[in-house]
A and B are shown apart, each in its own frame.
Chain A
Amino acid sequence: MIEAPRRKPIANPFPAPAGKGIRKQKHSTNEIMTASQQSNPPPAPDAAVPALRLEQVGRRFGALQAVRNVTFDIARGERRGIIGPNGAGKTTLFNTICGDFPPTEGRILLFGEDISRLKPHLRARQGIGRTYQTSLLFTGLTVLENLFLAVRGAMPNRLSLLKPGAGDAALAKARDLAERVRVSNIAAEKIDTISHGQRRQVEVGMALASDPKLLMLDEPAAGLSAGERPELVKLIQDLPRDLTLILIEHDMEVALPNSDIVTVMKDGEVVVENTPDRIADDPVVQAIYLGGAH
């Protein structure tokens, strides 16, 4: 059985007051939810509704069909790996989901709600967090300011005209995040002065800042040295188990151990979908990976 989601579907009108963003309180949060549902008409969070559903999603760039007819469900709490050669359309698929390049065909449902036509910032507010294959950070701001903004973006009063004070909750949360992605020692450094590896860690921190319901990591270990890699892999492994995660990763040794199901893409299409232990032996996958994709 799949673990109960930590965060409820967006439509749930009974937000649990405690536990927002505090992972340790998961169980007490669920108790509060149950209690409130007993005393009110139940808008039961339908566990059967997948976290993400793609229905024949496609994306064209002019004459190029970068993503074609992609259909799959991702269950709540599932960790999905996406692998495939360069140019397979993995990043483009992320872009259709987060809204940077919305799908030209098909539908995308987040917890049952059609988000295909929503602007990226509204999808972010619906609980999608993502990282980019090449770091897209605010290079003129510091690590802490980057994380602070990512936290603010998920808050209802995101656009304050007041300077954050010493006890500012968002600032405190940004510091916790810096701790979590192991960049607190460089929190005051500007992005354009820190190393590539550190930027990759901030990337993940930015995506986690909103406590997303769906986290999408696009080759988080891209360009990391052998020495920097384990730190990032550990970061992924330490993510809460109930978080729904999609991980694009070229490196099978990172992708397979961190996925419940692996989707293989090639030429914009899904070619194989299977559990990690069967993926490595799949003839199609072997053909792709031995066929000189590296």
Chain B
Amino acid sequence: MPMLSRLQWAISLAVLALLLALPFLLPSFWTGNIMGRAIVYGIVAMSLTFLASYGGFISLAQTMIAGIAGYTVAVLAPTAIPLGNHWLPYWALIPLAVAAATFAGAVVGLIAVRTREIYLLMITLALAVGFSLFAQSNIDWFNGYEGIRNILGPDIFGYPFRNLYVFYYSSLLVATALYFLVLYVVKTPFGLVLQGIRDNPRRVSAIGFNVGVHRVASFALAGFIAGWGGVLITFYNIGITPGSIGIWATVNVLVMAVIGGLGHPIGAFIGALVYTLFDTFAATIYDRDRFNTLIGLVFLVIVLVSPDGLLGLFRRLTGWRTGRSVATETMEEKT
């Protein structure tokens, strides 16, 4: 269906243009604390959505993996408080942090390589909680409960990362690149095999692919994505604490992904935006304690009304049938 594909392209470009114009249309609070925040958390949520949508794996370790990138940046940042014994310039530090997250993703994939469904959830959740507790108890590197502050991020073209526009456009650039990376990868043999594992791992090995290696590789790719999110979140928060990667942060990212819809990577960003809006404004309407009740209710309603999230709801309301995979469309275009 090339027409739909072209329509999707047109919509993507329109949305991108809107996102580019947004800082000039919105008050700065909206650009940074709503849109910017939704984008950086959306990246982590997308790493979860990627594994869920194409591999059928629900991993609760993605926030933890983002946290590994975040802590790598924080521990070695030149401006860190408390400052460690070693530090690196940001141009070396950011790739190192993303590499660490990629590696951590592969390790998680390796640990969970034989588990599925509820067991996969439990293992990844245990890893997430374990790492957060470790960070909390480790004073030497991670500064324990307090975490590490004053992670200002690099200067870009002479402007500090704290500059609203620098932060917003950098995050948008990274998110867009990763989003299209996912859409590309799922059309490659690597991505098609991942979808094959989702549908039928037994057949995947029967045609000659090593399912275990493939799973580990896709967790590594998801780790790479989450790593970028972790770096940007650390800059957004100007630091990192064990609480920011703990069980509640893990649940929040899961909520974002599910609210948006696990069927397509864009759902992660939609969910992150909705979540951020509620998180920001519900607290001003209600008091803080009731916020969790509210977001819990919203979550419940969305999951009950539309198990495939807002994206699924939108598809049903507009009658858009995107049942066919992205990969087929390109294959067809070439036919």
Task: Give residues in A with beta carbon < 8 Å to B.
Answer: 98-100, 119-121, 124-125, 130, 132, 136-142, 144-145, 148-150, 152-154, 158-166, 170-171, 175, 187-188, 190, 193, 206, 209-210
B331 x A100 contact (CB < 8 A): no
CA distance A100 to B323 in the complex (A): 31
| Interchain CB contact (< 8 A) of B190 among A132, A160, A188 | A160
Chain B neighbourhood of A140, CB < 8 A: 195, 198-199, 325
Contacts of A160 in B (CB 8 A): 188-190
Contact B328 A188 (CB under 8 A): yes
- Contacts A136-B202, A160-B188; A124 near B208 (Cβ below 8 A): yes
Out of B205, B214, B327, B332, name the residue touching A159 (CB < 8 Å). B214
* Contact yes or no, A130 B330, CB < 8 A: no
Alpha-carbon distance between A121 and B200 when the two chains are bound, in angstroms: 14
Given A158-B189, A159-B189, A138-B200 contact (CB < 8 Å): yes
The residue on B at minimum CB distance from A140 is B199
Cβ–Cβ contact B325 & A149, under 8 A: no
Name the residue of chain B whose CB is nearest to the CB of A193.
B323
Bound Cα distance A158, B189 (Å): 7
Chain A, Cβ-Cβ closest to B324: A190
Q: Which residues of chain B have C-beta atoms less than 8 A from A139's C-beta?
A: 199-200
- Residues of A contacting B202 with CB < 8 Å? 100, 120, 136
Tell whether, in the assembled complex, residue B332 and residue A188 are in contact, meaning their CB atoms are under 8 Å apart: yes
CA A99 to CA B208, docked complex, whole Å: 12
Please give, as numbers and ranges, the residues of chain B lying within 8 Å of A163 by CB-CB distance: 184, 187-188, 330
A209–B207 Cα gap in the complex (Å)? Answer: 8
Q: Return A158 CB to nearest CB of chain B, in Å.
A: 6
Of the A-B pairs whose beta carbons lie under 8 Å apart in the complex, a sample of 5, sorted by A's number, is: A125-B208, A137-B200, A145-B328, A159-B209, A193-B323
Q: Which residue of chain A has its CB nearest to the CB of B200?
A: A136
- State in angstroms the CA–CA spacing of A166 and B333 once bound together: 9
CA distance A163 to B188 in the complex (A): 4
In chain B, positions 199-221 with a C-beta closer than 8 Å to chain A are: 199-200, 202-211, 214, 217
B307 adjacent to chain A (CB < 8 Å): no
Q: How far in angstroms is the closest Cβ of chain A from B112?
A: 19
Distance in Å: Cβ of B225 to nearest Cβ of chain A:
15
At the interface, is chain B mostly helix, strand, loop or mixed?
helix
The distance from the CB of A98 to the nearest CB of chain B, in whole angstroms, is: 6
What DSSP secondary structure best describes chain A's contact surface?
loop
**A152 CA to B195 CA, complexed, in Å:** 14
Q: How far apart are B193's CB and chain A's nearest CB, in angstroms?
A: 6
Residues in chain B near residue A125, CB distance under 8 A: 208
Given the complex of chains A and B, what is the CA–CA distance between A164 and B331 in angstroms? Answer: 8
A175 to B335, CA, bound (A): 9
Q: Quick check: is B84 within 8 A (CB to CB) of the other chain?
A: no
Total count of chain B residues near the partner, CB < 8 A: 35
CB proximity to A under 8 Å, residues B302-335: 323-325, 327-328, 330-332, 334-335
Residues of B within 8 A of A142 (CB): 324-325, 327-328, 331
Residue pair B192, A124 in contact (C-beta under 8 Å): no
In the complex, A175→B209 CA distance in Å?
21
Chain B nearest Cβ from A163, distance in angstroms: 5
Which chain B residues (171-193) contact chain A, with CB distance < 8 Å? Answer: 184-185, 187-190, 192-193
Task: Give the docked Cα–Cα distance between A30 and B11 (Å).
Answer: 56
Contact pick for A145, options B192, B208, B210, B211, CB 8 Å: B192
Q: What 8 pairs across the A-B complex have the smallest Cβ distances?
A: A153-B208, A153-B207, A124-B208, A138-B199, A120-B205, A121-B205, A166-B334, A142-B328
- A188-B334 Cα distance, complex, nearest whole Å: 12
The answer to whether B193 touches A159 (Cβ under 8 A) is yes
- Please report the C-alpha to C-alpha distance between residue A170 and residue B331 in the assembled complex, in whole angstroms: 12
Min distance, Cβ B191 to any Cβ of chain A, angstroms? 9
Find the A residue at minimum CB distance from B193. A149
Q: Of the candidates A141, A150, A209, which one forms a contact with B327 in the assembled complex, judged by CB atoms under 8 Å apart?
A: A141
Closest to A130 in B: B206
Do B188 and A138 touch across chains, with their CB atoms under 8 A apart? no
Cα separation A279 to B185 with both chains bound (whole Å): 53
Q: Which residue of B lies closest to A191 (CB)?
A: B199
* Shortest beta-carbon distance from A180 to chain B in Å: 17
Bound-state Cα–Cα, A144 to B331, Å? 9
Quote the shortest CB–CB distance from A67 to chain B (angstroms).
18
| A121 adjacent to B209 (CB under 8 Å) | yes
Partner of A124, one of B193, B195, B205, B334: B205
Flag whether B95 is at the interface (Cβ < 8 A): no
Q: Nearest chain A CB to B52's CB is how many angstroms away?
A: 13
> With A141-B328, A142-B331 known to touch, is A121 a contact of B195 (CB < 8 Å)?
no
Tell me, yes or no, whether B144 is within 8 Å of chain A by CB: no
A145 to B203, CA, bound (A): 14
- Chain A contacts for B192, CB-based, 8 A: 141, 145, 148-149
B323 CB to closest chain A CB (Å) equals 6
Measured CA separation A125–B207 after assembly (Å): 8
State how many angstroms separate the Cβ of B190 from the closest Cβ of chain A.
5
Q: B243 on the interface (CB 8 Å rule)?
A: no
Q: Is B154 an interface residue (CB 8 A)?
A: no
A149 in contact with B328 given A136-B200, A137-B199, A140-B195 (CB within 8 Å)? no
The answer on a CB contact under 8 Å between A158 and B199 is: no
Partner of A144, one of B184, B207, B328: B328
Say how far B36's CB is from chain A's closest CB, in angstroms. Answer: 30
Which A residues are in CB contact (< 8 Å) with B199? 137-141
Instruction: Give the distance in Å from the alpha carbon of A139 to the alpha carbon of B209 in the complex.
Output: 18
